[in-house]
Chains A and B, each alone.
Chain A
């Protein structure tokens, strides 16, 4: 569907993207994930045509679109701020692209009504100014405006970042449902790993203008290709020298263990296990789970335990800490 081949983007002397290669499949929900300034938005803007690459090719449905003007690429965009035109009503916002295409008035009305129905916008809401809508409704208008021109793909640039936490979760689910209903290929940009994991079919993790890993959510979380990916997605414990020596791990590598893979007072009979004594330093109560800071093996180990209401440990309490060797994530040390 969309293929980026050896894309290089420069801003003056600064190289923002280094040889980016991505292939997004038809109907896929594909996410560009990474911290600020990693190149994910730059990649998206290269696909949409706002940025011209210094070298490389952008293919869409097999055709080279690298030099095709923005408006002729047939790509819908949902912007971070939604970019809804404040001086137009909801209806006029959605109809804007159709009017530019010089469609007949009754055809415009038909299309606007149809898309509004699909994204659950009422006739009354269509007459309103965008400022009179809630954040969630505004997001639906932005999606409707992007979809009404029937684009081949839709690109979303952190569309949930301006919303509060609760609404973000709610709209995330709506977004996923809408994408499945429309069956449209979607490229989604976010720095929120939870958002990426819950929404995506596949994720490309960006760092400093490179793609570190492309994979399904399970692949990037459980089989992180690089230390950066392991660090960026989810929380991890770096394994210190004491535990490393006790477990017989390769000292030429950096070793990490995810928080939920560290066991407290559990029977760890199966597999190659390292068990040591620990003392609870402190705990953070999250409701669904509890996060413990445990002094063990000469370091502080972070652990997440399901809140079963029974096994809740107090600060100062002695516990047994267990780590399966198979759960350890190891990466070659980078040269300084």
Chain B
């Protein structure tokens, strides 16, 4: 509603902001989302033949004739297999901890949820460290099963094994919430009508989980299709690693590498779009919503058959061991000296902090009998220049991108809510969700190729050149994280009662004051959570880091990946594997801390915070009394507060 009467010809200052905001939004959307992607798409059809003529179908012909379909097939194979294995393991861990009465479920849950703090490149390198040919786990397995192939952990098997356990985080979060939302009365009703426990599970419980399971299946399929770190590090020829390889190749090495990379990313994008549209269509068809007025909390089901009960317990603890062993081993090896780590054997006398802090020299005897000392050959995570550089760069880039995504989304969502049911609000929302339709690799590849030229609308700069690449990484990080931020922040804005805004306006607050003092404090916990989760994901992000890797753009994930490449050569870099384990421990601490801050501290409302403060004050008062500071504690509470 217009509250002020304006004279004809007078310019409304808010109009200037609106025009400026609109122009800026169009510039950002076209410049950093649409144009680079269109450039990628057109590059597929503008490849030139040897004579220099444009041949629109050259790349497609090359694709069909060459080995490129095998990359697509490999990705599809991985995605299909992952859907099966991840669902089997994911459903198992949720049923074992939330539905069935399994002894030690709380501890099991902690084990199954370790992937929330231990994921990405850290997890892949960790698994590689433990399961490769001379890994400690493979050694144990070979001792148990002498006929086993020592090199089992490579290629498809290794990728499938690693990703199966790495990709159950979503099941642990969302399927768990779904099963907790089941009305126990429906289970009781089925039992009352004579259904046996497993009949109840399959006929009553599972159907209500189907919508969640369907979404998780589609997301798992896309994850498998777009897998990057596991195939790259464990040696599996799927689409994403091939795109990155081709992006760094030249026409001198092979036929139109860039156009082929573009074609692969477009294929990936088509798969993703079709799957997401399918998912969207399914979600719009409706869910099995609970119609219960008063839900009863789910009571865990005891498995009545003794043999089945024993089997379930064994299965639960085997899974627990698979989840926990890498975590425990990596933590232990992070505190082992370099020789124990290199030989991958635990040395009970070899505990050290040198993988975290400090620099040591290393002396060794060369083949000619001379003793050589390598200065600084053993260095900790926080003392190694390259590692600290990677951490610093990733920290800054991730924090800036996460903050930028939050700012853009908060401003946009505020606008969207103010102009509900208007086309321009829907348009802005659509633009911000646009990156969700495209695989990360397509966006990054497009950025890398398009901005590796002087681009007029970025002041004629080459954004892939030297330090500029850092800005490009920030932009890519931000773009990729916008859809997630939008969905989360939008959900938070729904919690704002319209009457709060009316109340603030009635009390005289301007739009800006209402936003800053009323609305923002309400959504702030969610915004901070989005910031923290995005930061967490970006800090050790691999896919984009690999695409943009350059001398000035080596992120932490790339440092971790390259840490062991030259381990021990000529007496240099002796504790690279130990430092990598220490890096993983550092990442676990950072991720754990962020999750605690988001879900532990951040989810408390003002009432809970004040109650905790009051409890602490009383405890302190009691403590003071016990310590003989009774005089202070004897004072009335009100006087103390005034002081």
- A48, A100, A129: the one contacting B508 at CB < 8 Å is A100
Max chain A C-beta neighbours (<10 A), residue from B499, B522, B638: B499
Q: B506 an interface residue at 8 Å Cβ cutoff?
A: yes
Q: How far is the CA of A67 from the CA of B2 in the complex (A)?
A: 9
Q: Which of B100-108, B131-139, B557-565, B604-612 contacts A (4 or more CB under 8 A)?
A: B604-612
Closest CB in chain A relative to B92 CB, distance in Å: 39
Q: Closest residue of chain B to A155, judged by CB?
A: B506
Q: A50 and B1 in contact (CB under 8 A), knowing A77-B503, A132-B607?
A: yes
- A69, A80, A145: the one contacting B507 at CB < 8 Å is A145
Does A70 contact B610, Cβ atoms closer than 8 Å? no
Q: How far is the CA of A149 from the CA of B507 in the complex (A)?
A: 8
Q: A210 an interface residue at 8 Å Cβ cutoff?
A: no
Q: B296 an interface residue at 8 Å Cβ cutoff?
A: no
- A52, A67, A79, A128: the one contacting B502 at CB < 8 Å is A79
Q: How far is the CA of A79 from the CA of B501 in the complex (A)?
A: 11
Does B610 contact A75, Cβ atoms closer than 8 Å? no
- The digit string for B1-16, where 1 denotes a CB below 8 A from any CB of A, is 1111100000000000
Q: A71 an interface residue at 8 Å Cβ cutoff?
A: yes
Q: B500 an interface residue at 8 Å Cβ cutoff?
A: yes
Q: A70 and B607 in contact (CB under 8 A), knowing A49-B3, A81-B499?
A: no
Q: A83 and B607 in contact (CB under 8 A), knowing A50-B1, A96-B507, A100-B509?
A: no
Q: How far is the CA of A96 from the CA of B514 in the complex (A)?
A: 11
Chain A interface extent, by class? 20 to 34
Max chain A C-beta neighbours (<10 A), residue from B606, B607, B611: B606
Does B499 contact A83, Cβ atoms closer than 8 Å? yes
Q: A270 an interface residue at 8 Å Cβ cutoff?
A: no
| Complex interface: chain B residues within 8 A of A50 (CB) | 1, 502, 505
Does A97 contact B606, Cβ atoms closer than 8 Å? no
Q: How far is the CA of A233 from the CA of B553 in the complex (A)?
A: 75
Does A48 contact B506, Cβ atoms closer than 8 Å? yes
Closest CB in chain B relative to A47 CB, distance in Å: 12
Q: Closest residue of chain B to A157, judged by CB?
A: B499
Q: B427 an interface residue at 8 Å Cβ cutoff?
A: no
Q: Closest residue of chain B to A133, judged by CB?
A: B607
Does A132 contact B611, Cβ atoms closer than 8 Å? yes
Q: How far is the CA of A150 from the CA of B521 in the complex (A)?
A: 27
Q: A88 an interface residue at 8 Å Cβ cutoff?
A: yes
Does A81 contact B497, Cβ atoms closer than 8 Å? yes
| Complex interface: chain A residues within 8 A of B503 (CB) | 77, 79, 83, 85, 145
Q: How far is the CA of A85 from the CA of B509 in the complex (A)?
A: 13
| Complex interface: chain A residues within 8 A of B2 (CB) | 52
Q: B518 an interface residue at 8 Å Cβ cutoff?
A: yes
Does A70 contact B497, Cβ atoms closer than 8 Å? no
Q: A51 and B1 in contact (CB under 8 A), knowing A101-B508, A131-B607?
A: yes
Does A83 contact B500, Cβ atoms closer than 8 Å? yes
Q: B492 an interface residue at 8 Å Cβ cutoff?
A: no
| Complex interface: chain B residues within 8 A of A97 (CB) | 507-508
- B4, B607, B638: the one contacting A128 at CB < 8 Å is B607
Does A129 contact B506, Cβ atoms closer than 8 Å? no
Q: A131 and B507 in contact (CB under 8 A), knowing A83-B500, A87-B522?
A: no
Does A79 contact B499, Cβ atoms closer than 8 Å? yes
Does A129 contact B607, Cβ atoms closer than 8 Å? yes
- A69, A96, A101: the one contacting B4 at CB < 8 Å is A69
Max chain A C-beta neighbours (<10 A), residue from B1, B508, B609: B508
Does A71 contact B607, Cβ atoms closer than 8 Å? no
Q: How far is the CA of A12 from the CA of B590 in the complex (A)?
A: 53
Q: A71 and B499 in contact (CB under 8 A), knowing A85-B518, A131-B605, A132-B607?
A: no
Q: A89 an interface residue at 8 Å Cβ cutoff?
A: yes
Q: How far is the CA of A128 from the CA of B638 in the complex (A)?
A: 14
Please give me the 8 A-B residue pairs with the lowest Cβ-Cβ distance, nearest first.
A97-B507, A69-B3, A87-B521, A131-B607, A129-B607, A83-B499, A83-B503, A71-B508
Given A49-B3, A71-B506, 14 more pairs with CB closer than 8 A: A48-B506, A69-B4, A71-B507, A71-B508, A77-B502, A77-B506, A79-B503, A85-B521, A85-B522, A96-B507, A96-B509, A97-B508, A128-B607, A131-B606
10 CB < 8 A contacts A-B: A48-B506, A50-B1, A69-B4, A70-B505, A85-B521, A86-B522, A88-B521, A96-B504, A96-B517, A149-B507
